Amino acid sequence: MSSETSRIEAFSDGVFAIAITLLILNVQVPPASASHLAAALTRQWPTYVAYLISFSFIGIMWVNHHRLFNHIRRSDNGLMFLNLLLLLGVSVVPFPTALIAAHYYAPGRTLAAAVFNGTYVIIAVFFNVLWRHIVRGGLLDSATQESAEAISRQYAVGPISYLICFALTWVSVPASLIMNIALAVFFAIPARMNAQKHAGRMPTATK
Amino acid sequence: MSSETSRIEAFSDGVFAIAITLLILNVQVPPASASHLAAALTRQWPTYVAYLISFSFIGIMWVNHHRLFNHIRRSDNGLMFLNLLLLLGVSVVPFPTALIAAHYYAPGRTLAAAVFNGTYVIIAVFFNVLWRHIVRGGLLDSATQESAEAISRQYAVGPISYLICFALTWVSVPASLIMNIALAVFFAIPARMNAQKHAGRMPTATK
Amino acid sequence: MSSETSRIEAFSDGVFAIAITLLILNVQVPPASASHLAAALTRQWPTYVAYLISFSFIGIMWVNHHRLFNHIRRSDNGLMFLNLLLLLGVSVVPFPTALIAAHYYAPGRTLAAAVFNGTYVIIAVFFNVLWRHIVRGGLLDSATQESAEAISRQYAVGPISYLICFALTWVSVPASLIMNIALAVFFAIPARMNAQKHAGRMPTATK
Amino acid sequence: MSSETSRIEAFSDGVFAIAITLLILNVQVPPASASHLAAALTRQWPTYVAYLISFSFIGIMWVNHHRLFNHIRRSDNGLMFLNLLLLLGVSVVPFPTALIAAHYYAPGRTLAAAVFNGTYVIIAVFFNVLWRHIVRGGLLDSATQESAEAISRQYAVGPISYLICFALTWVSVPASLIMNIALAVFFAIPARMNAQKHAGRMPTATK
């Protein structure tokens, strides 16, 4: 991690941190005139589900971004701009999150869910494009370069999974949301298992 | 503090800083049509109290998070995800803060206060889960590992205190808010006294 | 600048940066139904003035905070909490800024301006309390410790100036705003001149 | 990149990151009562265009800011304040972006577009003023000082281009927006080509 990449990371961390924290602004407080606050709070469960999915997605995205940049030894302009493209995707997330929350009970539910799930397809694609640029541009440190093929296969699962989730929207919106939650859990768990394998190498890399 | 943990800290600092600063957006400006601005500003005192409690809570949380990470010598994936869970709790805070502010004079006051106080119970539990993972995973530097038991006892007070505060909500909402303020003051003061004891060791740790 | 203080700075920078950037959310976009956009935009000049005053104030505050922490060689808990108190003041700024902007043409103008100018008195006091704690606690590097008295006198001007500005509110709201602008310019310029004197020492301090 | 400039960068990165991420709050979610969500979403295309232009502009601005500060070897107060002026411009961006989005179909369209395009003229000027101060004040490292003239010529294109775009507003608002998009693409591409030329020198500078 050179000073060259460290400021890209600082900026990226900022965007991730802000996008993930802004999400809460979409969780509306029922008006004081609401006669049954408990009912009003319960009824907006899609808001909480959308919030949790988006928080998890951005959080996992950040964990992977963090891991990626730990293995980059130099930066180029392609990296800078593809990273900006990824950040564009991440900072858009509060909009589809608010959209599905507001339209879950409305006629536009399917479209809102499609925009929501579709955003994740696009971000997953952006992440893969960034990763491929890093691998092909030889921006990785040599140790990681060797295992790059394995990681590439792993990352390729993302866009395909979210594409299935996106298609599922037209079959059943609740099913697509459940699959979206399942994907968040899935991507969180294998990452953990991968890490155990990395554990022995990591300290060497950071020393 | 290795470069491994420094980016987790940077991201965490970002989330803490944003959550603590976003709180002010919940403090509503009375409309220009309000005939008596002084009365309108005075009447929304629950908003200011909720703001101050939440600001203090996140601030103290950050101080403790800062202190914790000063003694971590390496990171693992459990740390990464449990830290994200803590950040989820912290970034949710603006919602219950706005909820109690909006419903203090409404029929849903008790429920709103229960959500408000309950959020702090959950965050205090998350903080303890993170701490226990750090201790058991051997992520601490050796000097701190020795005194870990004492710190564990100190941190365990948090969830219990906030649980009492949470239960108090159904007895009296104002009493629960006063206890919440008292807890913020209490957790700020012993931390200061602890620090004096640490003072001799800290410089060694940071050199 | 040790790693001990560097995370306090990172968190503080975050709060300053967010507070200063959130200010723009208070600048309302006239509704699309406004027949004369030019008139609507012109009419809300108090919003722009309040925005510029608050932006300058937080900006200058940050410059001074930055300069202060450049000369701190170690941290203690008093510093941590007094710094949090200063950040509380800074992150409150968007509220009085929105208040004066919304009530400039309303009966509550004087009160709104008093809250606006009064906030700056409080923040200036908080900054002085922080500074005095740093000097008396011996947290400064030795070179700065010598010139601490001179800097103390300079900083003491802040609360007094803003107190006069605050008192002026009841004489004339526009006059108090003009004095507030003048203070921002005044505090920006001597800082620059001070810097020339520091210029020879600064590189030594940072090497 | 000394510790002197690194905190200015951290603060600047914060402001850039927040301003770029706040932009999404201007993208309104159509109300749940909207009978045709698809039509409502399509109709607000000017919002998306304004969002993308502003995101690209701030993103490119950040890339250039990043590149600039990579070559600065020391800081002075002029740099601090001119940098604050640039950040003022950047943090204002969400306002004109919301303005053009809200008034694209309203009578105030031309004025809203003029404010939008005019903001970019001003920011481009601020960036040039900052750059010239850096060059004339001898704040650059020696290698960059030599090629400063070439970079100055390149940067001077910014204000002129945005001035033409600004003038174009009164001819045709859509044309001015298209030129604005073209400028974002243009400034992104030559930067990339420049970078290739820098590629050999960069690693030396950061080592």
Per DSSP, what are the bridge partners of residue A72?
A140
Can you give the pLDDT at residue B19?
Answer: 94
**Residue for token pair 């993208």:** D27
Average pLDDT along chain B: 83
**Is a pLDDT exceeding 90 seen at residue A151?**
no
Across the interface, which of B77, B91, B111 has its CB nearest the CB of A38? B111
Can you give the pLDDT at residue D185?
Answer: 80
Can you give the pLDDT at residue A3?
Answer: 58
Residue B140: phi and psi, rounded to 5, are -80, 155
Q: Which of A7, A20, A189 should be substituted to probe chain B, the one whose Cβ sees the most B Cβ atoms within 10 Å?
A: A20
Can you give the pLDDT at residue A127?
Answer: 92
Do you know the residue count of chain A?
Answer: 207
Across the interface, which of C7, C19, C108 has its CB nearest the CB of B37? C108
Can you give the pLDDT at residue C98?
Answer: 94
**Is a pLDDT exceeding 70 seen at residue C199?**
no
**Sorting pLDDT into bands at 50, 70 and 90, what band is A2?**
low
| Spatial separation of the C-alpha atoms in residues A24 and A54, rounded to whole Å | 10
| Residues of chain B found within 8 Å of residue C106, distances taken between Cβ atoms | 32-34, 37
**Is a pLDDT exceeding 70 seen at residue C25?**
yes
Contact between C88 and B31 using a beta-carbon 8 Å cutoff: no
| Spatial separation of the C-alpha atoms in residues A150 and A161, rounded to whole Å | 18
Span B21-44, average pLDDT: 88
Per residue in A171-204, pLDDT tens?
Answer: 999 999 999 988 888 777 644 444 444 443 333 3
| Spatial separation of the C-alpha atoms in residues D179 and D189, rounded to whole Å | 15
Can you give the pLDDT at residue D201?
Answer: 39
**Is a pLDDT exceeding 90 seen at residue C70?**
no
- Please report, rounded to a whole number, the percentage of residues in chain C having pLDDT higher than 70: 87
Closest residue by Cα to residue B22 from D116, C8, A179, A20: A20
Burial class (CB in 10 A: 0-12, 13-18, 19+), D146: exposed
Which amino acid is residue B175, in one-letter code? A
> If DSSP codes are grouped into helix, strand and coil, which group holds residue C1?
coil
Per DSSP, what are the bridge partners of residue B72?
B140
Per DSSP, what are the bridge partners of residue D72?
D140
| Residues of chain B found within 8 Å of residue A20, distances taken between Cβ atoms | 15, 87, 91
| Spatial separation of the C-alpha atoms in residues D43 and D37, rounded to whole Å | 10
Q: Hey, CA dihedral for A129, A131, A133, A136, is it positive or negative?
A: negative
| ipTM (interface pTM) | 0.85
Taking CA atoms, D124 is separated from D65, D85, D163, in Å, by 12, 11, 10
**Sorting pLDDT into bands at 50, 70 and 90, what band is C3?**
low
Per residue in C140-193, pLDDT tens?
Answer: 877 676 677 777 777 778 889 999 999 999 999 999 999 998 888 877 764 444
Contact between C20 and D103 using a beta-carbon 8 Å cutoff: no
Span B90-113, average pLDDT: 93
**Sorting pLDDT into bands at 50, 70 and 90, what band is A146?**
low
Average pLDDT along chain C: 83
Q: Of B74-78, C64-68, D140-144, which gets the smallest average pLDDT?
A: D140-144
| Residues of chain B found within 8 Å of residue C44, distances taken between Cβ atoms | none
**Sorting pLDDT into bands at 50, 70 and 90, what band is B2?**
low
DSSP per-residue letters across chain D: --HHHHHHHHHHHHHHHHHHHHGGGGSPPPPTT-S-HHHHHHHTHHHHHHHHHHHHHHHHHHHHHHHHHTTB----HHHHHHHHHHHHHHHHTHHHHHHHHHHTTSTTHHHHHHHHHHHHHHHHHHHHHHHHHHHHTT-B-HHHHHTHHHHHHHHHHHHHHHHHHHHHTTT-HHHHHHHHHHHHHHHHHHHHHHHHHHTTTHHHHH-
| Spatial separation of the C-alpha atoms in residues D47 and D41, rounded to whole Å | 10
Can you give the pLDDT at residue D11?
Answer: 87
| Spatial separation of the C-alpha atoms in residues D152 and B188, rounded to whole Å | 52
Per DSSP, what are the bridge partners of residue B140?
B72
Q: Which of B1, B5, B20 should be substituted to probe chain C, the one whose Cβ sees the most C Cβ atoms within 10 Å?
A: B20
Per residue in D96-105, pLDDT tens?
Answer: 999 999 999 9
Burial class (CB in 10 A: 0-12, 13-18, 19+), A142: exposed
| Residues of chain B found within 8 Å of residue A59, distances taken between Cβ atoms | 84, 87-88
- Tell me how close the Cα of A21 comes to any Cα of chain B, in angstroms: 5
Per residue in D38-58, pLDDT tens?
Answer: 999 999 999 999 999 999 999
Span A25-52, average pLDDT: 88
Name the token pair of B131: 């701490």
| Spatial separation of the C-alpha atoms in residues D28 and A95, rounded to whole Å | 8
Closest residue by Cα to residue A110 from A30, A173, A68, A35: A173
Contact between C18 and D19 using a beta-carbon 8 Å cutoff: no
**Is a pLDDT exceeding 90 seen at residue D123?**
yes
Across the interface, which of D3, D88, D111 has its CB nearest the CB of C206? D3
Q: Could you tell me if C100 and C115 are in contact, meaning their C-beta atoms sit under 8 angstroms apart?
A: yes
**Is a pLDDT exceeding 80 seen at residue D7?**
no
| Spatial separation of the C-alpha atoms in residues C144 and B158, rounded to whole Å | 40
**Sorting pLDDT into bands at 50, 70 and 90, what band is B156?**
confident
SS3 letters for A64-128?
A: HHHHHHHCECCCCHHHHHHHHHHHHHHHHCHHHHHHHHHHCCCCCHHHHHHHHHHHHHHHHHHHH
Name the token pair of A174: 């609740």
Q: What angle do CA C141, C198, D148 make, to 5 degrees?
A: 120
Closest residue by Cα to residue B83 from B102, B69, B100: B69
Helices C94-103, C77-92: crossing angle, 10 deg rounding? 20
Name the token pair of D190: 């030559």
Rama region for B138: left / alpha / beta (φ>0; ψ in -120 to 50; rest): left
Span A48-59, average pLDDT: 92
Structural Rg of chain A based on CA atoms: 19
Per residue in B125-142, pLDDT tens?
Answer: 999 999 889 888 877 777
Taking CA atoms, D56 is separated from A81, D51, D59, D93, in Å, by 10, 8, 5, 12
Cβ-Cβ contacts under 8 Å for D136 (sequence gap 6 or more): none
Q: Which residues of D touch A (CB under 8 A)?
A: 1, 9-10, 13-14, 16-18, 20-25, 27, 29-38, 41, 55, 59, 62-63, 66, 69-70, 188, 191-192, 195-196, 199, 202-203, 206
SS3 letters for B69-132?
A: HHCECCCCHHHHHHHHHHHHHHHHCHHHHHHHHHHCCCCCHHHHHHHHHHHHHHHHHHHHHHHH
Tally the C-alpha atoms within 13 A of residue D80's C-alpha that lie toward its C-beta: 25
Across the interface, which of D13, D30, D55 has its CB nearest the CB of A14? D13
Helices D45-69, A77-92: crossing angle, 10 deg rounding? 140
> If DSSP codes are grouped into helix, strand and coil, which group holds residue B27?
coil
**Is a pLDDT exceeding 80 seen at residue D200?**
no
**Is a pLDDT exceeding 90 seen at residue C4?**
no
| Residues of chain C found within 8 Å of residue B33, distances taken between Cβ atoms | 106
Q: What's the CA dihedral at C1, C2, C6, C8 to 10 degrees?
A: -100
Cβ-Cβ contacts under 8 Å for A146 (sequence gap 6 or more): none
**Residue for token pair 């510790």:** D3
Name the token pair of B74: 């390496």
Closest residue by Cα to residue D128 from D205, D68, D75: D68
Helices C77-92, B3-22: crossing angle, 10 deg rounding? 40
Q: Could you tell me if D179 and D165 are in contact, meaning their C-beta atoms sit under 8 angstroms apart?
A: yes
Chains in touch with B (3+ beta-carbon pairs under 8 Å) read A, C
pLDDT higher at A156 or C94: C94
Contact between B4 and A202 using a beta-carbon 8 Å cutoff: yes
Contact between D77 and C192 using a beta-carbon 8 Å cutoff: yes
Closest residue by Cα to residue C180 from C119, C131, C126: C119
Can you give the pLDDT at residue A156?
Answer: 79
Q: Could you tell me if D39 and A106 are in contact, meaning their C-beta atoms sit under 8 angstroms apart?
A: no
Please measure the distance between the N-terminal and C-terminal CA atoms of chain A and give it in whole angstroms.
11
Domain boundaries, chain C: 3-206
> If DSSP codes are grouped into helix, strand and coil, which group holds residue B169?
coil
The most confident of the ranges A100-114, A190-204, D187-201 is A100-114
Contact between A108 and D66 using a beta-carbon 8 Å cutoff: no
Can you give the pLDDT at residue A191?
Answer: 46
Which amino acid is residue D79, in one-letter code? L
Average pLDDT along chain D: 83
**Is a pLDDT exceeding 60 seen at residue D196?**
no
**Is a pLDDT exceeding 60 seen at residue A81?**
yes
- Tell me how close the Cα of B100 comes to any Cα of chain A, in angstroms: 9
DSSP per-residue letters across C122-147: HHHHHHHHHHHHHHHTT-B-HHHHHH
